[in-house]
Copies of this chain bind each other. A is one copy, B any other.
Amino acid sequence: MNLENISNNKSFGGWHKQYTHQSEVLNCAMRFAIFLPPKVNEGHKVPVLYWLSGLTCTDENFMQKAGAQRIAAELGIAIVAPDTSPRGEDVANDEGYDLGQGAGFYVNATQAPWAAHFKMYDYILDELPNLIEANFPVTSQRAISGHSMGGHGALMIGLKNQSRFSSISAFSPITNPTQCPWGEKAFTAYLGDNKQAWAEYDSVELLKAGKPSLPILVDQGSEDGFLAEQLKPENLIAAAKSVDAECELRMQAGYDHSYYFIASFIEDHLRFHHQHLNAK
């Protein structure tokens, strides 16, 4: 069994657990965290919300700071928080916080030196859910959410794989990575100069392809310092309107880019996903 349990914390009657495993797709050891609600203690299988974190984060930021366990325990939802990139001494890196380790951008890199390990798209879409569904008391019902770079990941992976998820949500997502400095830097490094390759990982471009079959909820703080230059939710909403997508953007007055913002609204996101997981 390629799965090593490295921590266990009882939390709201359920369990927060961390594991390491050797990822075949990423070709390195990876850590993830899972919250299992108390319902699994009684022999039930539960659906899974995959949470994708932002730049510089690991599996720990969301689990420690979002305050999601209380509601997940109540609703009977497992939460899986992967790391944000491959890691290790053998894995390529960059001095910037926005490229390399901690900044995988949830794409499959095609360019040297990144292509050897940076296949986060395949990891999040296939390898990790397969591992989770083979080893934990969960159903194959899945929802996806994330923050900032991870909000981009959730929107993009959800839109490209609509049959695999019941619903998508995001906090402060990078909605249009082909049109902002963070995305331009990362996509140039990971994908090269071919803008057609970029478009396949851009939620605004993906949304333009047609009305999605699943609902989308986005929360964005009005005082987020990255809003105008990096996040551009107006581009997502314009694309959503053009295809009549079920996509709600809530501009939250006064909130910033931090986990204080996420914690304030995570309950709404879990209830949104719960409603659609149950409807499926």
Where the two chains meet, the residues of A that have a C-beta atom closer than 8 Å to any C-beta of B are 9-13, 16, 64-65, 67, 69-70, 221, 223, 254-256, 258-261, 263-264
Q: Which B residues lie within 8 Å of A223 (CB)?
A: 10
B10 near A255: Cβ-Cβ < 8 Å: yes
Q: A13-B264, A65-B65, A67-B67 are in contact. List 9 more A-B contacts (CB 8 A).
A: A10-B223, A10-B254, A10-B256, A11-B263, A12-B264, A16-B260, A67-B70, A69-B263, A70-B264
Q: Which B residues lie within 8 Å of A67 (CB)?
A: 67, 70, 263
CA–CA, A255 to B260, complex, Å?
25
Number of copies: 2
CA–CA, A11 to B264, complex, Å?
6
A221 near B256: Cβ-Cβ < 8 Å: no
Q: Which B residues lie within 8 Å of A69 (CB)?
A: 260, 263-264
B260 near A10: Cβ-Cβ < 8 Å: yes
Q: Which B residues lie within 8 Å of A16 (CB)?
A: 260
A10 near B64: Cβ-Cβ < 8 Å: no
Chain B residue at minimal CB-CB distance from A65? B64
User: Out of B10, B65, B264, which one reaches A10, CB within 8 Å?
Assistant: B264
CA–CA, A10 to B65, complex, Å?
15
Query: Among the interface residues A67, A256, A259, which one has the most CB atoms of the partner chain B within 10 A?
Result: A67
Chain B residue at minimal CB-CB distance from A35? B260
CA–CA, A263 to B263, complex, Å?
13
CA–CA, A12 to B255, complex, Å?
9
Chain B residue at minimal CB-CB distance from A254? B10
Q: Which B residues lie within 8 Å of A258 (CB)?
A: 9
User: Out of B9, B70, B255, which one reaches A261, CB within 8 Å?
Assistant: B9
A11 near B260: Cβ-Cβ < 8 Å: yes
Q: Which B residues lie within 8 Å of A261 (CB)?
A: 9-11
Nearest-Cβ distance from residue A118 to partner chain B, whole angstroms: 29
Of the A-B pairs whose beta carbons lie under 8 Å apart in the complex, a sample of 19, sorted by A's number, is A9-B258, A9-B260, A9-B261, A10-B221, A10-B254, A10-B255, A10-B256, A10-B261, A11-B261, A11-B264, A12-B263, A16-B260, A64-B64, A64-B65, A64-B259, A67-B67, A69-B260, A70-B263, A70-B264
B65 near A256: Cβ-Cβ < 8 Å: no
Chain B residue at minimal CB-CB distance from A265? B12
Chain B residue at minimal CB-CB distance from A70? B67
Chain B residue at minimal CB-CB distance from A221? B10
CA–CA, A12 to B261, complex, Å?
8
CA–CA, A67 to B69, complex, Å?
10
Nearest-Cβ distance from residue A6 to partner chain B, whole angstroms: 14
Q: Which 3 A-B pairs have the closest CB atoms?
A: A67-B67, A9-B260, A11-B260
